[in-house]
Chain A
Amino acid sequence: MRENKAQAWGLIAPTLTLMILIGVIPVLYIIYLSAFKYNVFSRVGMVYTGFNNFRKLMFDQDFLKSLRLGLTFVVLCCAIEMPLGLLIANLLTFEFKGKGIFRTIMTLPLAMAPISIGSMWVLLTNPDIGPIPFYLRKVGIDYNIGVNASQAFFTTVLVDVWHWTPFVTLTLMAGLSSLPKQPYEAALVDGANRWQTFRYVTLPLLKPILLTTLFIRIMDTFRIFDEVWMLTSGGPGTATRYVSIHLVRLVLQSMEYGYSSAMSLFLLYLTIVMCWLLLTFISSSQEAS
């Protein structure tokens, strides 16, 4: 028995070591750094400030704005991607001509690197040569994401929806195909129409998968970086300076390591809280079903 235990520990030791090296130690180092005022270019070196960085965070208007923007972005993207993905997934349960081609084209954005997506949209939205501003101008809309803050914001939402709705669709398609047949047969016997079947059979059965997909999308949109960095770099002004962009500018450009560490920890905490809330919700809904 003891020998088995030792063998088990021996087998998981490499994984544990790796986790400690790449997961635990960096987090501990960030916790340590967050207690200091530390900039690489500082003459005074590292100065211990206790919880001062966290206090500063709560009153930092730039950070709070970027957090607000980031959360608005998350809510908007998820509110569009989830119903849209569900709609497409449902439509793809029907047989129609060209279904295979449609499904392939639809999933193409998923195969592209986020940085390429950003570059592609830079060209599409370029006010001088881009087709989107060109056609919008023809219908009287002056579209310029270098100038108009709202347009820039909604363009980043559009890019995210374009990029990630296929992911939602694919996940939900997999979910739909794994649902049991009996409830549908029962609904048919009871004389339920398509909408009633969807509302009272499909949706409740799909709920855990829907919530899991939503959970993944919330995490992903909250830390969006590459596409927005390429497309607007956080601009115009601070219109699309989401929290991840704000953080990168602080760390890589300003080299404010102490304050950035405190910010990272706060964001980690926020993410954990969001995960916990969602997981609790998913578990309770599973129990109820």
Chain B
Amino acid sequence: MRKGINVLLVVLLVLGLGGLAFAQVANPEWWQKAAEPYKGVVIKGISESTPPSKAMVEVAAPEFEKLTGIKVQFEVTSWDEMYNKSIQDLQSGAGIYDFIYVEQDIIYAYLEQNWLTNLTPFIQNSAITEPNFDLDDFTSFINYFKDAEGNIFAIPFEAFLKSYIYRKDLFEDPEIQKAFKEKYGYDLAVPTNWDQYTDIAKFFTEYGKEKGIELYGHVAQAKTHPCVAYEMCESIWPAWGIYNWGINLETMRASVDKGGTLNSEQAKKAFRWYVDMLQYAPPGVRTYTWDETAAVFGAGKIAQGLIYLENIGWLATDPTRSAVIGKIGVALPPTAPGVLEEAKAGKGYIGYYDGGALGIPHSAKNKEAAWLFIQWCARKEWQAEFAKLATRVVRKSTFDDPLIKELDPKMGGYFTLLKEQGHLFAGAPPLPMHRPLNEIYLKWISKAVAGEISPEEALDNLAQEVDQLMEELGY
């Protein structure tokens, strides 16, 4: 009897959830009609294992299947594997995938090779594009997925900042504030420059030691892994005024004597700072990638740091994973003198406006069905729930949704920061060869991080190798 009641409850719950889900579909008849020719088709996709991808796999895909009859096989895997598998499929033209994750920095490479399907004709086709798709509602992030003629090659599903995050509860503790002021002579507050950041890092690491608690003033993604190169290029160097990976986009060279800034005094100063700062991070920092930096912050062991804020959703709301709920503050990263002003004037940027989109490989076998799924993930009425599940916003209207307004304070004002200050951040520079570049950056940066050579020597060698690679690749 009890078992029967349980089954009934589950059935009712499933039906209830199903009803709830379909209530969010603005135009279900249109979807069913548009999908009619593709009913039973299986579309295959691949993406990185990020919160947005998981939300698409666990929520969007099952609902889409139920409504349209198109089956979705969505492979969510590690970043490296996602890239390797996608590139192999694109390069060989095998047509394994019908849609792929197009990270914002890789699109220049894909466009150069003509590996993506132009979506503009799809968007213009009313038989397969929902009337409420509303291209103008997307934030300016969609511009990074267009070619020179304005054709769209991928539709954003995630966009986030890598910015400054801190423990509000620690910063607002009167005793800590007093101790900090006594030590450094100024008030403990969100740092606006790197010297303040360094003082705070030092202060909290020493504070942790004094109190016998696991608390550190800094965190970094310093593992021998592509992430360490991305950290320097995406968030450290830009905030020190070194843009575009230190490469001069006109001469396509990196060394100072060829017009670049990669081995400039400022780049070396920033890199030396980065390596020196690792002493204020947890002992395991050189084994951290982007995942561990967020995890260790969630464990309550970090007072401040720069992390990918796509993680702030679970950090701020998931009690099973986070020990810092209600204690998080978010702000702009510290910058070197003049950098913020340059960003405000549109001449530079203080960090990456990172993210990705879903695109269709040139060799895909079910392009129209894949396009329907991509639209489904980008549909307006789902965006607030999607943002809640995965802390990302790609449509302007999402910022005004009551759900997002309610969530914003819980996330330390992250959505407001994204909306109002997002323009100070920028997408990756148009470097179609960024994959081989990342590998060279990783090699030299990790050598310096491991102490094999000095940061200055690493950058001189790196700049020279980048110049050589550019020449070899025909730039």
Q: Cβ of B91 and Cβ of A40 under 8 Å apart? A: yes
Q: Cβ of A41 and Cβ of B286 under 8 Å apart? A: no
Stretch at the interface among B376-384, B386-394, B404-412, B449-457: B449-457
> Does A238 reach chain B (CB closer than 8 Å)?
yes
Q: Cβ of A234 and Cβ of B224 under 8 Å apart? A: yes
- Which of A37, A39, A237, A239 counts the most B-chain CB atoms under 10 A from its CB? A237
A-B contact count (CB 8 A): 105
Q: Using A236-B450, A254-B439 as known contacts, say yes or no to A39 and B224 having CB atoms under 8 A apart.
A: no
Q: Cβ of B436 and Cβ of A255 under 8 Å apart? A: yes
Q: Chain A at the B interface: mostly helix, strand, loop or mixed?
A: loop
Total chain B interface residues with beta-carbon distance under 8 A: 39
Q: Using A40-B91, A145-B287 as known contacts, say yes or no to A235 and B446 having CB atoms under 8 A apart.
A: yes
Q: Chain B at the A interface: mostly helix, strand, loop or mixed?
A: helix
Q: Cβ of B435 and Cβ of A144 under 8 Å apart? A: no
With CB as the reference atom, state the residue of chain A lying closest to B112.
A41
> Does B296 reach chain A (CB closer than 8 Å)?
yes
Shortest distance from the beta carbon of B451 to any chain A beta carbon, whole Å: 7
Shortest distance from the beta carbon of B272 to any chain A beta carbon, whole Å: 16
The one of A41, A126, A232 in contact with B433, judged by C-beta atoms closer than 8 angstroms, is: A41
Shortest distance from the beta carbon of B213 to any chain A beta carbon, whole Å: 14
The residues of B that contact A40 with a CB separation of less than 8 Å are 87, 91, 113
Q: Could you give, for residues 437-467 of chain B, a 1 whenever the CB lies within 8 Å of some chain A CB and a 0 otherwise?
A: 0111011001101111000000000000000
Q: Cβ of B283 and Cβ of A236 under 8 Å apart? A: no
Q: Cβ of B472 and Cβ of A236 under 8 Å apart? A: no
> Does A149 reach chain B (CB closer than 8 Å)?
yes
> Does B395 reach chain A (CB closer than 8 Å)?
no
Total chain A interface residues with beta-carbon distance under 8 A: 34
Shortest distance from the beta carbon of A21 to any chain B beta carbon, whole Å: 16
The one of B296, B432, B438, B443 in contact with A128, judged by C-beta atoms closer than 8 angstroms, is: B296
The residues of A that contact B447 with a CB separation of less than 8 Å are 237-238
Q: Cβ of A127 and Cβ of B283 under 8 Å apart? A: yes
Q: Cβ of A236 and Cβ of B286 under 8 Å apart? A: yes
Q: Could you give, for residues 226-260 of chain A, a 1 whenever the CB lies within 8 Å of some chain B CB and a 0 otherwise?
A: 00000011111111000000000110111110000
Between-chain CB contacts (< 8 Å), 26 pairs = A39-B472, A39-B473, A40-B91, A41-B112, A41-B113, A41-B432, A41-B473, A42-B473, A43-B473, A43-B475, A126-B284, A144-B286, A145-B287, A146-B284, A149-B450, A234-B224, A235-B223, A235-B286, A235-B446, A238-B446, A238-B447, A239-B450, A250-B439, A253-B435, A254-B440, A255-B436
Residues of chain B at the chain A interface (Cβ within 8 Å): 80, 84, 87, 91, 109, 112-113, 222-226, 282-287, 296, 301, 432-433, 435-436, 438-440, 442-443, 446-447, 449-452, 472-475
Residues of chain A at the chain B interface (Cβ within 8 Å): 37, 39-44, 62, 122, 126-129, 133, 144-147, 149, 232-239, 249-250, 252-256
